[in-house]
Amino acid sequence: MSPVGKVLESSVRNALSGKGAHVETARVFAALDWKTAGARPQGAPQSPYQVLKHMAYWQDWVVNWLDGRKPALPAHASGSWPGGVAPANRIEWETAVRRFRRGLAALERGSGEADLLSGPGEKSRLEMLRTIAAHNSYHAGQVVLLRQLLRKWPPPSGGLTW
């Protein structure tokens, strides 16, 4: 891999993980119990669970796109917000968190497996990975705010502070 390719790959991985910008994206749901995950603070449009499902939806969409599939776009934005406000139980919550983390790991792998400047469609892999990294950062910030309002931030492992 060329020096420029290595810099691009590193930049994409850092953007996907949140490194250098905010708490690790994979940790924003850490130590959040399933009942709290389904709570919506007064005036908030979504619960942490709803945001998690939305993030996982788009991660899976991008992973499929990177793999050369042609995933369909939802007819309306609401189609990318699957499921209800709250998980039915602990297992449903933990399954959703694992799905999100698996998708994030697949995106990180995808940042190093092929030429970032090429792509299976009109956009390059780099453009798609940058877009999903920005999307995840945006929503990770929402989740932190929701958790703060629910008095469940930072997680026991700590948040990004100095």
**Residue ranges of the domains in the chain?**
3-149
How confident is the model over 17-33, as pLDDT tens digits?
A: 888 788 889 899 999 99
Q: 3-class DSSP state for residue 74? A: coil
Q: Which of 1-5, 53-57, 104-108, 157-161 has the lowest mean pLDDT?
A: 157-161
Q: Answer yes or no: is pLDDT of 162 > 50.
A: no
Counting DSSP H helices and E strands in the chain, the numbers are 5, 0
DSSP state of 156: T
Residue 141 CB partners (closer than 8 Å, separation 6+)? 22
**Residue 45 C-beta-side C-alpha neighbours within 13 Å:** 6
Residue (of 58, 74, 69) closest to 121 by Cα position: 69
Amino acid at 30: A
Report the pLDDT value the prediction gives residue 117, as an integer from 0 to 100.
81
Could you give the CA distance from residue 63 to residue 50 in angstroms, rounded to a whole number? 20
Range 5-39 burial, b when 16+ CB lie within 10 A, else e: eeebbebbbebbbbeeebbbbbbbbbebebebbbb
How confident is the model over 104-157, as pLDDT tens digits?
A: 999 998 888 778 888 777 888 999 999 999 999 999 999 999 999 999 998 877
Dihedral (Cα; 88, 39, 50, 96), 10-degree rounding: -50
Residue (of 109, 126, 123) closest to 7 by Cα position: 126
Look up the CATH number of domain 3-149: 1.20.120.450
Please tell me the pTM assigned to this model: 0.92
| Count of Cβ atoms closer than 10 Å to residue 79 Cβ | 11
